[in-house]
């Protein structure tokens, strides 16, 4: 790991460890969940060159599965999260097999359409409670001795999950697998002619991204003790694109910063009401037109060090 | 041994007593009211900024300033997202020291806030949300469900229509939990009243095009087409029913969840003849008219819906209870609210049941023909008044264990 | 009465016709997307918002300027198309050298802004738009009551779709357009102003969406959200048809409308997922779409 990134990692970890002293912990936990979600998404677009416009389906599926397992089946939190994440992985496999058949814009439209199908399914299915959602999900006792109803216990858990997910993504990006992904992104025919099974690499990246997005969704379900349609709706897929774009596509730390900014906006604009979507739209347009490298991308190029 | 127990009991009583007097006042000297609803999308017309206006009017009419009570209003947009709503509620209670949350349309958000309020021992007064679970299996000692609920809508509309001869039904049901609940409750009432259900079709949420379903309703020859859906689905169905000549062909439409703002959006041309239930209409009596005049002056000409009126009524009663109980402790205020009868210019006299159900009369209304309408928002004819004790679900059927 | 799978044949005819009407909207919208995609290589996410704008501008013309439905039908596509031209000149044109995904992101952002602004101004309950007097009422076809307006929707959209197809495939202007799609540099070298052609094409695609919006105003509620979900269905329609051919996108639009209509009779619960399911099946067997060229 280059020094600049080591410092950035330390700063990030220190921030999330110390911030609860000054900021509201539930807000910070939400930010970490979305940061992990955005990092998972970034793995696909930033390093695989695949823009998914349906990532909400993994977030939401894992959320529903976790909430259902914890509430109805009485799973302890560690298994509920595992179960939710596994569901997202399976969904990633199935939709991935279909979606990777096309590239670029088609890929985006197909993922969007598949996610919409999943949304309608959850809307009608009985176990999701329709627009009521699954409510009052017990957080339970982690490993049999950590009571997650304590705010610091759950905060610590979310922090550990977030850091683990983040480091895993970092590891993947810098592994030989990640290098092949980048090669495919840059020039798919060349990667193919070099003998790489391009589709298998893409599918694996897609599944990995889906799984980690699921992990974020599963954690979020326990933090808020609910699972609802919001997390499967297409506007959530759009939001994660925005977070990653604003933070910096293909940067390591960008999605975390982007998620933090967007969640803060959502939080502080809540008082302003109607302007949330408009502001989001404006950020989209500005990012695309003049700020394509995002916050961290710009910072990195100013420091001349990739972040 | 016996003595020891007595001493301990006395000590506990003494501690409890001091604790009681210590909290027998308003925390931090300010009563903070949070109005949380949808300010920007689907439900912003039925609740939205209008609910905030209603809350402020209630504080003014209560004469809080004159009585030396300091009351502040906070507002927030939950964007119809339960996680956003849940976070706002937590933050309001923990950081901003909000004492009570009002309104909260969208069932998923209301149920989430319901849980948080119970955990933190605050007060939650629901006007905007429809789910009758709030006084059923999700009931809480810290929540009062004020204005209306799904059971009351289904029951009011269903039974009143069957009584006036609408005995064969066809349901157009939104295919999700909310629609199913409306359909189930209405069907039960229709069957109980001796009517029959000739068929039903489940349509997807936000279907836009209802022509196909309306053709099926038309073919069923049912006298009443029941719309077990809400919002855009209801208005689109009504609009297209007019186009396919459903009402002209002799069938009537019965709405389950319709608000004044929906009728305004449809226009009387389309909506005429529609029958549904409301608990408040601005043109009921002199008091409601006088209040509405003041409301409209602040709301850019939009007339109040029953949800907004409910917020006014709930805030009024809440402040009365705070004054009477001399505390803003959520659990105690709610208990006080249940103990006192309610009285306000919009809903008249009423009571609050143990399970948190506010009881007041409901009105079966029919939308006027364009020729009958004399002024702005002159939309309803009140066909029947359902007394408070019949309008809502009997306490024993709800499954609330309070 | 004869029955097919338990549904009377007469009712079935009715449903087929209804399906065709919905297909008209899919066809108009997917045609617009295909035309834009052909030349700009951009998927226009703003399409749903522009469809909504069409309905709203018609509403405003009626209420502020007293211009009725027929005026709207002529003027609204021009007005909304003009806003499209502005968007293309000010924003989209800056992105042609970049990855096409940026175009998608930009138009997504624009859609959020436009829908948000309309919601702020007009709320969400929707606004009424009267049926034009000439087309109100209906005809009893024996097997169903067909509102005259619905019949008009089928006719009008078929004319517009086929007209667009004719211009693009059979005229000189269309041949420039197709040539520019293949090789813009070469066409530019022949002295044809390609950037202007691109601008006008985008404007034309947007105008088609606005036209669909005006058509929709009298039957659907005019509301800021009316295009938001629709556009995703149209995306699926486009994936199924493949973007290779103009005629393909029109036929797929009408065809899927009919299939969706039939689903509403036989299994209404699936009627809003059926198009996505078909998309999944088509992707399995013909990844390039029914009418698309396999690259």
In tens, the pLDDT along A86-111 reads: 999 999 999 999 998 888 888 988 89
Name the more confident of B18 and A302: A302
Dmax (CA) for chain A in angstroms is: 55
The predicted structure's pLDDT at residue C221: 81
Identify from A288, A289, A290, A292 which residue to disrupt to test chain C contact, counting C C-beta atoms within 10 A and taking the largest count. A288
DSSP-derived pairing of the beta strands B275-278 and B362-367: antiparallel
- Residue pair B288/B361 in contact (Cβ under 8 Å)? The answer is no
> To which residue do tokens 């992101």 refer?
C105
Q: How far apart are CA B336 and CA B316, in angstroms?
A: 13
- In this complex, do B77 and A274 lie within 8 Å of one another by their Cβ atoms? yes
Q: From the CA of A117, how many Å to the nearest CA of chain C?
A: 6
The predicted structure's pLDDT at residue A93: 96
Q: In what order do the strands lie in the sheet with B342-344?
A: B342-344, B348-352, B358-359
Burial class (CB in 10 A: 0-12, 13-18, 19+), C120: middle
Name the more confident of A135 and B19: A135
Q: Is the pLDDT of residue C216 over 70?
A: yes
Mean pLDDT of C138-154: 85
* Neighboring chain C residues of B213 at a CB cutoff of 8 Å: 264, 268
Task: Name the fold adopted by B30-148+285-360.
Answer: Rossmann fold (3.40.50)
Q: How far apart are CA C192 and CA B329, in angstroms?
A: 77
Q: Is the pLDDT of residue A231 over 50?
A: yes
Q: How far apart are CA A158 and CA C170, in angstroms?
A: 62
CATH architecture of the domain covering B151-278+362-391: 3-Layer(aba) Sandwich (3.40)
- In this complex, do A129 and B177 lie within 8 Å of one another by their Cβ atoms? yes
- Whether this model's ipTM surpasses 0.85 comes out as yes
Name the more confident of C178 and A30: A30
The predicted structure's pLDDT at residue B358: 96
- In this complex, do B39 and A124 lie within 8 Å of one another by their Cβ atoms? no
Distance, CA of A193 to chain centre = 32
For chain B, give every domain's residue range. Answer: 30-148+285-360, 151-278+362-391
Query: Which region among A162-171, B367-376, C53-62, C275-284 has the lowest average model confidence (pLDDT)?
Result: C275-284
Q: Is the pLDDT of residue C4 over 70?
A: no
The predicted structure's pLDDT at residue A188: 87
Q: Which pTM value belongs to this model?
A: 0.85
Q: Does B243 touch chain C (CB under 8 A)?
A: yes
Q: With cut-offs at 50, 70 and 90, classify the pLDDT of residue C244.
A: low
pLDDT digits 0-9 by tens, A43-90: 999 888 899 999 999 999 999 999 999 999 999 999 999 999 999 999
B82, B115, B205 ranked by CB distance to A230: nearest: B82
Dihedral sign computed on CA atoms, order C182, C188, C191, C194:
positive
- Residue pair B309/B347 in contact (Cβ under 8 Å)? The answer is yes
- In this complex, do C235 and A289 lie within 8 Å of one another by their Cβ atoms? no
What string of pLDDT tens digits covers the 402 residues of chain B?
A: 444 444 444 444 444 433 333 334 666 788 999 999 988 777 888 888 999 999 999 999 999 888 888 999 998 888 888 888 998 999 899 989 999 999 998 888 999 999 999 999 999 999 999 889 899 989 999 999 999 999 999 988 998 889 888 899 999 998 877 888 889 889 999 999 999 999 999 888 777 788 888 988 988 899 999 999 888 889 889 988 988 888 888 899 999 999 999 999 888 988 988 999 999 999 999 999 999 999 999 998 899 999 999 999 999 999 999 999 999 899 999 999 999 999 999 999 999 999 999 999 999 999 999 999 999 999 999 998 999 998 999 999 888 988
Burial class (CB in 10 A: 0-12, 13-18, 19+), C158: middle
Among B380, C24, B108, B261, CA closest to A230: B108
CA separation (Å) from C151 to B231, C137, C215? Answer: 27, 11, 12
The predicted structure's pLDDT at residue B7: 47
Q: What is the mean pLDDT of chain A?
A: 91
Asked if domains B30-148+285-360 and B151-278+362-391 share a fold, the reply is yes
Instruction: Tokens for B303, please give them.
Output: 């007339």
Q: How far apart are CA B347 and CA B147, in angstroms?
A: 9
CA separation (Å) from C143 to A243, B215, C10, C24, C139? Answer: 54, 11, 5, 21, 11
Residues whose CB is less than 8 angstroms from the CB of residue B324 and which lie 6 or more positions away in sequence, other chains included: B336, B340
Residues whose CB is less than 8 angstroms from the CB of residue C131 and which lie 6 or more positions away in sequence, other chains included: B243, C149, C218
Among A234, A264, A307, CA closest to A35: A264
CA separation (Å) from C294 to A184, A199, C231? Answer: 20, 17, 25
The strand ranges marked E within A192-250 are none
Instruction: Tokens for A178, please give them.
Output: 């990640």
- Residue pair B249/B217 in contact (Cβ under 8 Å)? The answer is no
Name the more confident of C84 and C6: C84
pLDDT digits 0-9 by tens, C251-281: 999 999 999 988 888 888 888 889 999 988 8
Q: Is the pLDDT of residue A171 over 50?
A: yes
């Amino acid at each position: 790991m280059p020094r600049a990134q080591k410092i950035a990692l330390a700063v990030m970890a220190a921030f999330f460890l110390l911030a609860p002293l000054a900021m509201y912990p539930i807000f910070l936990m939400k930010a970490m969940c979305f940061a992990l979600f955005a990092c998972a998404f970034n793995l696909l677009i930033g390093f695989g060159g695949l823009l998914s416009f349906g990532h909400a389906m993994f977030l939401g599926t894992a959320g529903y599965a976790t909430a259902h397992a914890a509430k109805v089946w009485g799973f302890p939190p560690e298994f509920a999260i595992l179960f939710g994440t596994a569901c997202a992985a399976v969904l990633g496999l199935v939709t991935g097999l279909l979606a990777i058949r096309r590239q670029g814009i088609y890929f985006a439209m197909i993922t969007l359409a598949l996610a919409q199908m999943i949304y309608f399914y959850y809307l009608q299915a009985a176990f999701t409670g329709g627009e009521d959602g699954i409510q009052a999900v017990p957080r339970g006792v982690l490993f049999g001795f950590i009571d997650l109803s304590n705010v610091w216990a759950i905060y610590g858990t979310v922090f550990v999950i977030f850091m683990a997910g983040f480091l895993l993504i970092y590891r993947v990006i810098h592994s030989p697998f990640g290098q092949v992904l980048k090669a495919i992104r840059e020039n798919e025919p060349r990667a193919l002619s070099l003998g790489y099974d391009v589709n298998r690499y893409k599918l694996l990246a897609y599944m990995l991204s889906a799984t980690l997005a699921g992990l974020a969704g599963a954690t979020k379900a326990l933090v808020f003790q609910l699972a609802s349609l919001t997390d499967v709706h297409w506007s959530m897929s759009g939001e994660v694109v925005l977070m990653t774009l604003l933070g910096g596509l293909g940067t390591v730390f960008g999605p975390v910063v982007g998620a933090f900014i967007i969640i803060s906006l959502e939080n502080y604009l809540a008082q302003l009401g109607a302007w949330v979507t408009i502001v989001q739209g404006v950020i989209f347009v500005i990012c695309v037109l003049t700020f394509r490298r995002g916050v961290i991308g710009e910072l990195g190029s100013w420091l001349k060090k990739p972040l | 041994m016996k003595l020891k127990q007595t001493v301990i009991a006395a000590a506990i009583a003494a501690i409890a007593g001091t604790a009681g007097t210590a909290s027998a006042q308003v925390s931090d000297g300010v009563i903070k009211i949070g109005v949380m609803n949808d300010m920007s999308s689907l439900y912003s017309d039925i609740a939205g900024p209008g609910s905030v206006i209603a809350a402020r009017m209630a504080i003014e009419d209560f004469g809080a300033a004159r009585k030396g009570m300091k009351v502040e209003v906070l507002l927030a947009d939950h964007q119809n997202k339960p996680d956003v709503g849940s976070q706002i509620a937590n933050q309001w209670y923990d950081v901003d020291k909000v004492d009570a949350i009002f309104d909260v349309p969208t069932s998923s958000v209301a149920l989430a806030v319901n849980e948080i309020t119970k955990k933190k021992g605050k007060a939650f007064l629901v006007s905007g949300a429809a789910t009758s679970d709030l006084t059923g299996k999700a009931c809480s000692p810290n929540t009062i469900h004020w204005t209306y609920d799904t059971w009351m809508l289904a029951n009011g509309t269903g039974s009143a229509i069957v009584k006036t001869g609408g005995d064969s039904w066809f349901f157009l049901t939104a295919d999700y939990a909310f629609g199913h609940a409306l359909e189930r409750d209405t069907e039960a009432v229709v069957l109980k009243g001796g009517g029959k259900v000739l068929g039903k079709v489940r349509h997807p949420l936000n279907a836009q095009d209802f022509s196909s379903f309306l053709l099926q309703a038309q073919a069923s020859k049912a006298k009443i087409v029941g719309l077990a859906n809400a919002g855009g689905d209801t208005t689109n169905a009504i609009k297209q029913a007019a186009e396919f000549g459903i009402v002209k062909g002799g069938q009537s439409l019965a709405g389950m969840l319709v608000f004044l703002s929906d009728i305004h959006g449809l226009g009387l041309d389309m909506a005429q003849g529609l029958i549904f239930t409301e608990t408040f209409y601005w043109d009921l009596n002199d008091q409601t008219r006088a209040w509405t005049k003041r409301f409209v002056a602040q709301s850019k000409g939009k007339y109040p819906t029953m949800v907004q009126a409910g917020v006014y009524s709930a805030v009024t009663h809440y402040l009365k209870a705070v004054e009477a109980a001399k505390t803003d402790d959520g659990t105690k205020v709610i208990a006080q609210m249940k103990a006192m009868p309610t009285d306000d210019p919009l809903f008249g006299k009423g009571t609050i049941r143990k399970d948190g159900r506010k009881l007041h009369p409901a009105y079966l209304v029919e939308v006027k023909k364009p020729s009958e309408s004399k002024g702005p928002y002159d939309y309803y004819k009140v066909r029947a008044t359902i007394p408070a004790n019949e309008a809502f679900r009997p306490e024993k059927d709800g499954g609330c264990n309070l | 009465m004869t029955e097919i799978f338990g549904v009377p044949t007469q009712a079935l005819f009715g449903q087929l016709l209804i399906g065709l009407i919905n297909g008209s909207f899919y066809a108009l919208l997917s045609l617009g997307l295909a035309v834009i995609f052909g030349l700009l290589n951009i998927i226009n996410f703003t399409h749903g918002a522009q469809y909504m704008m069409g309905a709203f501008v018609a509403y405003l013309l009626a209420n502020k300027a007293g211009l009725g439905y027929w005026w709207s039908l002529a003027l609204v596509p021009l007005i909304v198309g003009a806003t499209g031209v502005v968007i293309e000149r000010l924003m989209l044109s800056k992105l042609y050298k970049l990855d096409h995904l940026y175009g998608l992101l930009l138009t997504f952002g624009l859609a959020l802004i436009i829908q948000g602004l309309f919601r702020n101004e007009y709320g969400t309950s929707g606004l009424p738009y009267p049926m034009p007097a000439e087309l109100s009422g209906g005809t009893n076809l024996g097997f169903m009551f067909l509102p005259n307006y619905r019949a008009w929707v089928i006719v009008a959209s078929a004319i517009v779709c086929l007209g667009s197809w004719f211009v693009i495939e059979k005229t000189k202007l269309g041949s420039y357009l197709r040539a520019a799609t293949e090789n813009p540099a070469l066409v530019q070298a022949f002295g044809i102003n390609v950037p202007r052609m691109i601008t006008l094409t985008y404007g034309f695609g947007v105008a088609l969406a606005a036209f669909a919006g005006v058509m929709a105003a009298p039957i659907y509620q005019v509301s800021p959200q009316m295009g938001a979900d629709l556009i995703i269905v149209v995306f699926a329609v486009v994936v199924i048809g493949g973007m290779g051919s103009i005629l393909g996108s029109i036929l797929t639009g009408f065809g899927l409308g009919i299939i969706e209509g039939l689903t509403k009779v036989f299994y209404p619960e699936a009627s809003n997922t059926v198009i996505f399911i078909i998309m999944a099946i088509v992707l399995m067997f013909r990844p390039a779409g029914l009418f698309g060229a396999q690259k």
